[in-house]
A and B are shown apart, each in its own frame.
Chain A
Amino acid sequence: MRRLTPTEYQAALVSLFGEGVPNVSDTYPVPLGGYPYSTYADAHRVGETQAEALLVTAERVAEHLAPTLPDCAGISMGACGRDYLVPLANRAFRRPAETADVERLVAVAEGAASDGLAPNEAMAVAIIALLQEPRFLYVVESRAETAQWTLDGPERAQRLALTYWHALPDATLNTEAMSGALEMESGFGLARERVVNDPRSRATFHRFVREWLGIATLPTTHEPVLRAALDEELERLLDDAWNAPDGLAVLLNADTAYVNPTLEAFYGLPALSTGPTDFRRVLMPGTRIGLLTHPLVLAAASHGEESSPILRGKLIRTRVLCGALGSPPAGAASLEPVLPPDATVRQRYEARNTNAVCAGCHQLMDPVGFGLERFDGLGRLRATTAGRPIDERAEIANAGDASGTFATPDEMLTTLAASDVVTSCFARQWLRYSLGRTEGSDAMCVVQDLETSFRASGRSMPALFLALAEDPAFVTRHAEVTP
């Protein structure tokens, strides 16, 4: 069971209270680091810091709303509270609120009013309480003492909306949930197609890919104007991937770039763009080979302005190939070979490789990262490193049909883009992102189903998205699954 992500929480506020609601991204607790995706349940553990942040965030919202809340003129606080809070709780909980839940919130409003708060302010206190409710904060699906069950209508609506939109169910989904339509295959089939085809699914795809490649919230060393332009470009590239018949090939192999004057200068292209908002489409063969050569991705896997073959190799090994790598052993830094300061990264790698403790993992990472050495830490093309020619010979070992030795990044990334291992891995990454956990033995079937559907579709992204909701596992649950 996971808690709402910051994106989902903000979207929920907007759907409950309207567009004017404050942006609380700076106070809502951010997911803890160290997990593959922000959706992972363990990234949302609540310590006292997080508990206080949840309270303060809700108070901020309530303070903003208080002047607009009902003044309850002529009716009792209890009746007024019920009128206002019942529909609100129904939407906030993604299912009809139970009487006890509503009465508890009404009692909060009545108590606050008896302390002398004006009715609208007492209602604001009830909203603070509502926003602490577990049925609001958590994606609740389990049942006590039940081994296996099928999601009911409201749970299906919740699952669809949160998975594909990172938002609460809309009015249509709520209607379908209450009518029972979502519990019938025909009704559920229509609903999931509508949800996946909604532009909000494409936005979710954007967030997924950004997290997949480690650039979701990353501050980079790029200047703000450049960073903004790179983000804009990435949006367009991700739209291309969403719309393409083979979206994965676009993600990993397209030579497309979108450039405004800032990016023309950064990429060393002729200044042909007409202004900051004019992102013209250009082809940069050999320089742009899919997103792994996009400056945001390259910079994320770098140390400042220094490229890092280790981080880049690790990114490809773990995120693109779904390989497992352990953490560096305790005291790893003390094993680092002592070499002259001007030693090349490859010399350092080879020295490190003489130690079996290091070699186990570094053989799987560094030689992959070498393939991107023509890009510096900001993602700029370069001809030399520290006065020496670029050495970008690369090797991918132990990766099935993605294995090989490569003379250029083009060769390596073309191989990756065509690899079955990579195709399977991408489907698996989407599953992890949407499940909020690493798949366990329970998910073997859905993993295979997803891979098969993804491949059969020619690797279309919307098809991959839809395949998840078409799988029986989307609406069935097993208790106490240990990933």
Chain B
Amino acid sequence: MSRPAIALVTPWYGADITGGAETVCRGLAEHLAHAGHAVEVLTTCAWRFQSDWGKNHHRPGLETLNGVPVRRFRVRPRDGQAFHQVNLRLMRGLGISTADEQQFMQHIIGSDELVAYIGEHRDAYRFVFLPYMFGTSYWGARAAPENSLMMPCLHDEAYAHMAAFRALMPSLRGFLLLSQPERDLMQSLYGIPAERLHLIGAGVDAAAGANPARFREKHRLAGPYIVYVGRRDETKNTPLLLDHFRRMKLEQGGDLKLVLIGPGGMPAAAARPDVIDLGVTDEQTKHDALAGALCLVNPSLNESFSLVLMEAWLAGRPVLVHAGCAVTVGHCRAGHGGLFFANYAEFSGALRWLSEHPTEAAAMGAQGARYVRANFTWERVLAKMLRAVYGEAAG
């Protein structure tokens, strides 16, 4: 008897979408398909995280993207204002009622057609939902819990403490996790037994032919620079990075620049000649930028894996992360690939150390690259995933 196909269920999917969970999902789908495994993506017709979640951007139905069958379903109409009211309270760390939770789940992105499809085809697939907090995952996993695995991309945030997820998680078949701190959090938050928690990590594509000189020439950058890659908003702690950088330049001067890559706006106060905002770039530009940087800075406290750390290491450069993030600090300590700051003084002290110790900085980058190659090759990640999804026989 053939085993059921893997269905990766995610709120949006496409080659033009950035973001950690989105990149992990696309990588899994494409590598599974190219390795000959039966895999499909079930998603909505919404475009991406930054677009209107109530608007159908894509046509519903089946299409093939880079060898992966993608089945799209129309989104459910939603009241964005009602969602925003509750979401704002959650983001501010304020308590919400049961009625608020219902309002949140009703008006976050979701698709009734997708949920109905999952219910009707519950035995045809092993469903893998990611990330956990969207309606596609919440309502979808409820439709077939016995065949559902969650790849939550979890960190300790207000959403994770909602009663809705506390009720849902223990009913699921298993969990695919990206890091040991995420695994610890799953156990402490939801009391999931260890045998259902599978630490698989995420596969990282090696950067082919990164060329820092090409980046410097294109953007007329002669001096040293640090780089931030990712979405720019409070949940990623970007304002803290901009503030620390501004303060350091005010106090110390110098020709260090900050290069920002990724979607999202920037406060007007952050607009300075030494802050270079490139917005969303192609992958090659990102790899070129990483290869030429003094280091990558990731100030986020909310990470479940941090793909960009791995990319910086594969580009041969060290990283600087926030000391309050167990996941990124854990990677830095395990791979000896980067430093961590708990406050402004440590931020400027670490950058000074890296600029004054170029040989050691390069060695840290090389150590990080060894760590990535030892743990996060696609071959290794897929083997772990298939074992978690199908059990012993899958191999």
Q: Do A and B bind each other?
A: no
List A residues at the B interface (Cβ < 8 Å). Answer: none
